[in-house]
Chains A and B, each alone.
Chain A
Amino acid sequence: MRLVACVKQVPDSEARVTPRPDRPVIDERDISFVLNPYDEYAVEEAVRIKEAKGESDVAVLCVGPPRSEEALRRCLAAGADRALRVWDDHLGDVDGAVVARLLALALERVGFDLVLCGRLAIDDAAGEVGGRVAELLGVAHATAVSALSVEGDRIIAEREVDSGLEVIELPLPSVITAQKGLNEPRYPAIPAIMKARRLPIQQLTVQELGVEPGALGDLSRRKVVTLDAVETERRRRRIEGEPDAVARDLALLLRDDARAL
């Protein structure tokens, strides 16, 4: 079975992010980058399926700048067999529409039975790429999957719906996006990490995927105009005293000061 996980490298959630003064992107200096947490579930699931089924191959694919290689090596250490990175210096602040297009082209080139993505990336929280890729590839998809099993040429997935969890059957090939709880990602052992450092990461240019760098802008559908720190000033009003008094004061403040009732 050909399993492909699509991953992204993102700033650590603890990172102090500040917008650059000249462009609506963050200042990347001194930022710690990690593999997107939701992608960890995707990679782990792909590796588990390979381990359970045998005769399978796990590839990890990333559209990202050179620093993304660290995240790809993490995937290799966690059991992926090979890693590919697509990039072009014209990509800049990547639009999900462009990323999805490049991923779909790379996936067609690499070959796949099951594509696994994270349900969203914690930097832009767009949750866009998995669904777009499925449509571009013309295959079924399921979003926010928290349980998955492979049954021959179909998969059974539990996915998040507004009223709870839906059990859905999809034919292969298909795309799923991983939700927290799909599995417990393993911590790669040191030998695996060391070995991953020496594995090659295949680089793919957009030209090799059939896209002219100058045409990338035409594939974009939205543009970030401004990026600002969030201004919400909280009152930080302390309420002190015995529980009875505190409860009474808080209730009154919620009614009269905050008008929240």
Chain B
Amino acid sequence: MDGVFVIIERLDDEPRRVTVEMLAQARQLAHELGASLTAVIAGPAGPRLAARLGELGAPSVLHLSHESLRAYSAQGYTWALAEALGERRPRAVLLAHSALARDLAPRLAARMDAAFVSDCTGWHVSDGALRLTRGVYGGKLQACVQVGQMHPAVVTFRPNALGVVPTPAAAAEVEHSPLAPPTGTVTTVVRGLVARSEGELGIQEARVIVAGGRGLGGPDGFDVLRPLADVLGGAIGASRTAVDSGWIGVDHQVGQTGKAVSPSLYIACGISGAVQHFAGMSSSKVIVAINKDPDAPIFERADYCVVGDLFEVVPRLTEELRSMLDTA
């Protein structure tokens, strides 16, 4: 039987949310392809992780537990995954479209002589063939891409884009593999990490994003947005203008030359809605736009349009939501 493999990303022994939502869909995908499903962990981990993956619906777990895989390296993980999966008739290898996946997956696809389809927002099986949906041309068009059946496919899914699917828990069967990349496989050396601020949620994983643009007038404008993001449990996003003006870091930028996001709720404050910005957030489920300019292009593409002063509206909205959510 062919196998569908989900590469698990985790923080210590907890799977990251982006992986969890994918695991549920992977189960259905495997079923429709008539394939088995295996969650794959790289690096040492306690038994709790595999048990947790079973609870989340993975019937089996492949644990590549060698110490040399504790830290990620493109060459090391490519070697280990290709070796491990190569013997297991891989049909599809699935990852969340994270920074790690963007670095690893194309290389892994080349090693496995596989198709590579990235940042997908949907999938279906048609006559036994796997088809993926993804946005192209800045989200203006949608492509349906079919992968062949003679080679594996490495597929990444956009976080939050696939719906949450209830899955029956299983007791995962765990297989340990001692595979370790031979000396000389990894030629890179990590010298350090400049971490993002403590507690800050990355925008690609956030279910809610409150974003600011030119209308904020300066870096302090984000101080008005942060309480709103906090009350909604969301992250702060920014338009290119705000980033290029130095008001906030580039890792908050949403758009064609920033990040593509797919939150449940996107609140755009003081953002005019240029094509390039929209390219990054057009797959948001609900879009709210708050802008002083009644002709701002964003109003053509938002669900709720507030023509007004964000400095008046946002604090009041924050309070309304706070009392609403407190009493809920």
Contacts and interface: CB of A to CB of B under 8 A. Distances in A.
B143 interface: yes
Interface in A198-248: 221-230, 232, 234-240, 243-244, 246-248
A180 B258 CA distance: 8
Given A24-B143, A221-B116, A254-B288, A235 B103 contact: no
A134 B241 CA distance: 34
A126 interface: yes
Contact of B321 (A97, A225, A236, A251): A251
A125 to B, nearest CB: 6
Contacts, number: 266
Interface in B264-321: 264-265, 275-276, 279, 282-283, 285-288, 299-309, 312-313, 316-317, 319-321
B256 interface: yes
A255 interface: yes
Interface in A55-108: 96-97, 100
A162 B304 contact: no
B190 interface: yes
B183 interface: no
Contact of A261 (B109, B135, B306, B325): B325
Contact of A230 (B99, B118, B141, B250): B141
Contacts of A113: none
B195 A169 contact: no
Given A132-B109, A135-B110, A122 B282 contact: no
Given A26-B137, A126-B118, A254-B288, A141 B195 contact: no
A110 interface: no
Interface in B101-147: 102-111, 113-119, 131, 134-147
A194 interface: no
B48 interface: no
Nearest to B96: A162
Nearest to A239: B306
Query: Per DSSP, are chain B's interface residues mostly helix, strand or loop, or mixed?
Result: mixed
B116 A250 contact: no
A258 B304 contact: yes
B191 A144 contact: no
B110 A123 contact: no
B191 A248 contact: no
Interface residues of A, number: 82
Contacts of A17: 137, 140-141
A126 B143 CA distance: 12
A196 interface: no
Contacts of B65: none
Given A229-B141, A254-B286, A168 B191 contact: yes
A170 B145 CA distance: 34
A14 interface: yes
Report which residue of B106, B115, B253, B317 has the largest number of chain A beta carbons within 10 angstroms of its beta carbon: B106
Interface stretch (A1-9, A43-51, A152-160, A185-193): A152-160
A166 B192 CA distance: 6
Contacts of A180: 250, 253, 257-258
Contacts of A169: 188-191
A241 to B, nearest CB: 9
B106 A132 contact: yes
B324 A255 contact: yes
B141 A144 contact: no
Report which residue of B100, B115, B283 has the largest number of chain A beta carbons within 10 angstroms of its beta carbon: B115
A140 interface: yes
A38 B139 CA distance: 17
B98 interface: yes
Contact of B304 (A11, A164, A227, A254): A254
A236 B302 contact: yes
Query: 3 smallest A-B Cβ distances: which pairs?
Result: A131-B106, A247-B316, A221-B115
